[in-house]
Amino acid sequence: MVGLPARLNDQLAELRHRFRPLLDALSAWGLWVLIGALFVWAALDERQLFVVGIVVGSIYALGALGLTLIYGILKFGNFAHGDTMMLGAYVAYFVLTGRIVGERTDTNTGLGLDRLPAATDRLGDLTFGYAFLLAVAAAVIVIALVSVGLDRVIYRPLRRRGSSIVIFAIASLGVALATRSVILFVWGPDSRVYVSGIHRARHLPFDIVLKTDQIFVLIVAVALTAAMYLLLFRTKLGKAMRATADNPALARVAGINTEQTIVWTWIIGGALVAVAGVLLALQANLTPNLGFFLLLPLFAAAILGGLGNPVGALLGAMVVGVAQETSVEFLSPGYKASVAFFILVVILLLRPHGLFGGRTR
Amino acid sequence: MTTGPVLEAQGVVAGYGEVNILHGVSLRVDGGEMVAVIGPNGAGKSTLLKAIFGLLPLRSGRVFLKGQEITNLSPDEVVLRGLSYVPQVENVFPSLTVLENLEMGAFVRRNGVRHRLQQVCELFPDLAGRRGEVAARLSGGQRQMLAVARALMLDPEVLLLDEPSASLSPKMVAIIFDRIGIINQAGTAILLVEQNAKEALSLSHRGYVLAMGQNRLEGEAKGLLENAEVARLYLGA
């Protein structure tokens, strides 16, 4: 290090070494206490923001789950995950409305499901009709297929060549840029909405007001997370996925077809992130760049929970969601993204293996 | 006991990169037999197991299981045909529970998993008591037991064991060898690679001595134990 005498430097290193276990314990407990305090304070003082944070967090959770699964098995951070999420949202938009960008106004291809009879009649208090649900299903299928296709064309050849994780990460960055460009090319830069109309609010106990759509989002996210948990811990496929993440060489020795496991990982990760994209777009407007901004909270959530740990990703997503939403009490809403960034930096400094992880590096 | 060879390797040549480690090694394991492969460090013992199991491509030579050729089949196909392999290190799934580890051992099995689980648990009662525990929490010896138990879940024709006694306490080594003996007596043929030559030979029916990637000696285990050259080279006598 420039400017520091070697002796001082040595002493610093010595000190750091001696206090490492103490610092480890402190940072672990400190983080848990901090998270506990955040949740208690938010739940008591900022109930409304807290609940909205949970809704946002549950969307992040779906994205972070996919991210952490892919990391667990393929060992690289998939930078394309945010843009894949947006692609899912746009595919659902197309299936629903049939619209793509035109020269001056939109071109309606006439392929949208909203032409079906009563397709957009509102389901109860929700803003959308059954066509929207079909559009979500279509997006799930398309994104799962696209994910598997990208693996075939890009990641599998890299695996066969034994490329380093840096190559994988940079390749995924390329996929991210390409995906965003495709979105821009097909749907243009303007923001879009699935359905315009008035949101009905619901008054819940404890003075909480939520849009019915938000309640829908929460239910879907919770249901999918629970399904994921059952898949990973109760089914043969899920156990094989965890085994492959744990020790791919031994998984092969046990007779697990790891390539097939990888395909399933992309299918499941893609399906989850497609749903996340649609749920997000149901809350906010669809813009091509949204996916890029989402990458930060998704990575923060996945790393906070410990990369590769699905339960951790869920908790991490809730922390990031609640922290972001409650931050508007102190900061301008424009800084929400920086909250996720701040969380990310703090974890990487203190506990790079996440809340449940072992020692710091 | 003997019913002709269940596993046979003929003139196996394999290696890493430009270098060949094995220069034409041959061996056979008969039905129900326990065969030890001993030799000094770097003789290619572990490489031989990897090559037989399909983890390392054969550059020459052939491998047969029950008379069917399995040369250069992928591990999942080899497993399906009844060959099980326990690597020397990193041989359990650390974040999976003991039970899940065993289930993964039976991954390619379609039926009888529950029954087999019961049999394996009877053989390893100390594991049965810790079914729900995560493998990372087990001691080194228990982990080794779990690794062997995982491979047994397949009910294999032949079990390939790569240095099961490595880095275990002497007490644990005795226990592990005792279990291996029991597994063999129950009818599973075993090909055992060991640094611990004396114990391995006293447990086995036959043995092969490997040196520099080639067959050096072979014969009845008892004969090898008494062989002066073996004693001088590998038994430290």
**Across the interface, do B107 and A240 touch by the CB < 8 Å criterion?**
yes
Q: What count of other Cβ atoms lies within 10 Å of the Cβ of residue B112?
A: 11
CA pair distance A243, A237, nearest whole angstrom: 10
Range of the domain at A230: 49-350
Closest residue, chain A, to B154 (C-alpha): A254
Q: Is A239 on the interface with B (CB under 8 A)?
A: yes
Q: Is residue A4 part of a domain?
A: no
User: B76: which chain A residues are within 8 Å (Cβ-Cβ)?
Assistant: 252, 255-257
CA pair distance B128, B121, nearest whole angstrom: 5
Q: Which of A265, A236, A56 is nearest to A156 (CA)?
A: A265
Tokens of B212: 């520099």
CB pairs under 8 A between A and B: 59
Q: How many domains does chain A have?
A: 1
CA pair distance A288, A188, nearest whole angstrom: 8
Q: What are the DSSP calls for A279-313, one per residue?
A: HHHHHS-B-TTHHHHHHHHHHHHHHHT-TT-HHHH
Closest residue, chain B, to A254 (C-alpha): B105
Place of tokens 């789950």: A65
ipTM above 0.95 for this complex: no
User: B107: which chain A residues are within 8 Å (Cβ-Cβ)?
Assistant: 236, 240, 254-256
What integer pLDDT is reported at residue A191 of this predicted model? 84
SS3 of residue B22 by DSSP: strand
Q: What is the CATH number of the domain that holds A215?
A: 1.10.3470
CA pair distance A154, A76, nearest whole angstrom: 14
**B236, pLDDT greater than 60:** no
**Across the interface, do A236 and B103 touch by the CB < 8 Å criterion?**
yes
Reading chain A (361 residues) residue by residue, the pLDDT tens digits are 456 677 888 888 888 778 777 777 777 787 788 888 888 887 777 888 888 888 889 999 999 999 988 888 888 889 999 999 999 999 999 888 877 777 667 777 766 767 676 666 777 777 777 788 888 999 999 999 999 999 999 999 998 888 888 999 999 999 999 999 999 898 888 888 877 666 677 777 777 777 878 888 889 988 998 898 899 999 999 999 999 988 989 999 999 998 999 999 999 999 999 999 999 888 878 888 888 888 888 998 988 888 878 888 888 899 899 888 888 878 888 888 788 888 888 888 777 777 776 433 3
Which residue from A246, A253, A255 is facing B94, i.e. has the nearest CB?
A246
User: B154: which chain A residues are within 8 Å (Cβ-Cβ)?
Assistant: 255
pTM for this entry: 0.84
**B45, pLDDT greater than 50:** yes
CA pair distance B221, B198, nearest whole angstrom: 10
Q: Is residue A37 part of a domain?
A: no
CA pair distance A286, A280, nearest whole angstrom: 8
User: Which class in CATH covers the domain with range B5-234?
Assistant: alpha beta
Single-letter residue type at A348: L
Q: Is A306 left (phi over 0), alpha (psi -120 to 50) or beta?
A: left
Q: Is residue A3 part of a domain?
A: no
Return all residues near A285 (Cβ < 8 A) that are at least 6 apart: A191, A192, A193
Terminal CA-CA length for chain A: 20
E strands, B89-149, in order = none
**Across the interface, do B104 and A257 touch by the CB < 8 Å criterion?**
no
CA pair distance A117, A129, nearest whole angstrom: 11
| Torsion, Cα of A83, A86, A87, A91 (10° steps) | 180
Q: Which of A241, A266, A225, A75 is nearest to B100 (CA)?
A: A241
Among A83-87, A88-92, B37-41, B45-49, which is the least confidently predicted range?
B37-41
CB B151 within 8 A of CB B86: yes
